[in-house]
Homo-oligomer: A and B are copies of this chain.
Amino acid sequence: MLLLRRCSSLTRLCSINSHRHPVTPALASCAVRFFSSDREEQFRWSRRWTHAVAGLLAGSGAVLAYALKQHKAEKADAITGQSAATLPSSSLPIFSQEEVSRHRSLEDGVWVTYKGGVYDITEFVAMHPGGDKIMMAAGGSVEPFWALYAVHNQEHVLEMLSEYKASHLRAEDQRKQQSLNPSDPFSSDPERHPVLRINNLKPFNAETPPEILTESYITPSVLFFKRNHLPVPNVDPATYKLQIEINGPANSERGGGALSLSLDDLKNKFPKHTVTAVVQCAGNRRSDMHKAKPVKGLNWGIGAIGNATWSGAKLRDVLQAAGYSLDDSKWARHVQFEGLDQDVGGTTYGASIPLRKAISEDGDCLLAYEMNGEVLPADHGFPIRVIVPGTVGARNVKWLGKIIVSAEESNSHWQQNDYKGFSPSTDWDTVDYKSAPAIQELPIQSAITVPADGAVVDRSEEEVTVKGYAWSGGGREVVRVDVSIDGGNTWKIAQLKGSNDGGDGGTAPPPGQAWAWKLWELTVPLPEDTEKMEIVCKAVDSSYNMQPDTIMPIWNLRGVLSNAWHKVNVRIQGEEEDQ
């Protein structure tokens, strides 16, 4: 009965949209097969149906409202038996996050959380106007997705969800604090959203699925890639202190400036600045390099990058408050950062940046206490992370404990013996880490997020929309993205969406301060003479730097700086193929 009703609802949805997209015979045959097959087959078909419907809806708010109204009317007279939704709210059971996480499929049930409530939305999955994207939230919170897809900002949506309330989330999980297990240094790591693609659990390293990256100009914090080198430290904001030292020559009058600031000091004693900036891991797209020839490192796809707003005190202001003056530029060359995260031996994460970047008015370095307008999440460095716009993620030190103005670079492992680029001819027998500079500004980069590699496009769609991101380090603005669907033989220019054209409603950044990315998009007709497309993108920055064509000439043993043209292979199926 429920399935029948679901289908009649879908049929109605199709019919109201039929003036825009005629329902194809394929959709009718799909309906027949749906009722004649087993549960798994039904699920597969229901996914295809909802995909088709989602396509028809094409993001129309009015249609979504209609769908929800229909569903409520149907649900009111549904025979559903004993259901959590029929219980008074106060009598709902309490479930742990762990239990919620087990419900990520139609077979096991699809549970999500929203503001402390647990919702069993198994029934709704096939009804979801946005198709099976809803499955990305399974076992976790829907909130980051609702933030991504603005169509959910309607009263109906929340009403709708409330009908599926099954239980409450355990209070301690709501506070996202687990009891500490002293035998596992990672036991106090925060909860993460299950949609993240995990490369490594301890320390936690996980990236954003590609198709999510280009859904919004600002990457939601929960979905932002995490790259931890060590366990997440449990910092008490009430007792937190940031130490600042100006380590001049021992015999200098100026050597020895020092300052200690509380979190409140940082928030109240310095003007609050906000920048929109990309953070990208040096290993982003390492998997492309690894495919060409094995490298050592986490096998990142294209999602070890994100674009967020960061707010906090200017590093420059804090250094000046600690006594830094122009005189210090005679001996000072670097600003070192030490994290509060440490290994079992007590070694903390560390990095440094050139002094010039740290003190420059235009450098926009921040001691950030907010990400995307909210308190900096634990995985992103709570309470303070230094944001070094235009510079590799590894220097944007999280859980910042100490800042040292110095004549020397940080002597940490990550500054001296990692995060450096080498020639393709350098191997583990010949590598001399002293011979290469530490990565700071990153080179020009771009990648295709949609379609996915290996995707199949139906020829009846007649065209394909290619989406992606592009960014360059050092504040160099992306000025053009070229896209090819024939492996790089011919190119078309993609449409850029940046901060100055609707990306976040702001104005164009001054030259040299373009810290945010550009999303881009291009719709092209499907080629008629082939069943295969090799889609390629390459970006150009304001210094007219281009991406290298191929991987092998930039191959390096650590697999960093993987910024050759990005390629995805797509197959066209349908009509012409069948002939």
Which residues of chain B come closer than 8 Å to A425, judged between CB atoms?
Answer: 482, 490-493
A454 sits at the interface (CB 8 A)? no
Is A440 in the interface zone, CB < 8 Å from B? yes
- The answer to whether B540 touches A488, judged by C-beta atoms less than 8 angstroms apart, is no
Smallest distance from the beta carbon of A88 to chain B beta carbons, Å? Answer: 61
CB-defined contacts of A493 to chain B, threshold 8 Å? 423, 425-426
Closest to A555 in B: B491
Contacts of A545 in B (CB 8 A): 443-444, 543, 545
Contact code string A434-476 (vs B, CB < 8 Å = 1, else 0): 0011011111100000000000000000000000000001101
Q: In the bound complex, how far is the Cα of B445 from the Cα of A544, in angstroms? A: 11
> Beyond A362-B356, A553-B491, A553-B549, is A424–B482 a contact (Cβ under 8 Å)?
yes
User: Chain copies in the assembly?
Assistant: 2
Choose one: B354, B426, B490, B549; the contact of A511 (CB below 8 Å): B354
Is A512 on the interface with B (CB-CB < 8 A)? yes
Contact A441–B543 (Cβ < 8 Å): yes
Contacting residue for A480 out of B333, B356, B436, B441, CB 8 A:
B436
Return chain B residues, CB-CB under 8 Å to A442: 543-544
Task: Verify if A406 is at the interface (C-beta below 8 Å from B).
Answer: no
Asked whether any CB of chain B lies closer than 8 Å to the CB of A188, the reply is: no
Please state if A511 and B356 are interface contacts (CB–CB under 8 Å): yes
The range of chain A's interface size is 35 or more
A220 within 8 A of B: no
Distance A333 CA – B511 CA, assembled complex (angstroms): 9
A306 contacts which chain B residues (CB < 8 A)? none
Chain B CB within 8 A of A548 CB: yes
Q: By the criterion CB–CB under 8 Å, are B554 and A421 in contact? A: no
A37 within 8 Å of B (CB atoms): no
Does A479 touch B at the CB level, under 8 Å? Answer: yes
A553→B488 contact, CB < 8 A: yes
Minimum Cβ distance to chain B for residue A413 (Å):
20
Knowing that A356-B511, A439-B544, A549-B549 are A-B contacts, what are 6 other residue pairs whose CB atoms are under 8 Å apart, sorted by A's residue number? A356-B510, A423-B482, A425-B491, A440-B542, A441-B543, A474-B543
Binding site for B on A (CB under 8 A): 333, 354, 356-357, 362, 421, 423-426, 436-437, 439-444, 473-474, 476, 479-480, 482, 488, 490-493, 510-512, 538, 540, 542-550, 553-554, 561
Name 23 interchain pairs, CB-CB below 8 A, sorted by A: A333-B510, A356-B511, A423-B480, A423-B491, A425-B482, A425-B492, A425-B493, A437-B479, A440-B542, A441-B476, A441-B542, A441-B543, A441-B544, A442-B544, A443-B546, A444-B545, A473-B543, A474-B543, A482-B553, A491-B553, A543-B545, A544-B561, A549-B553
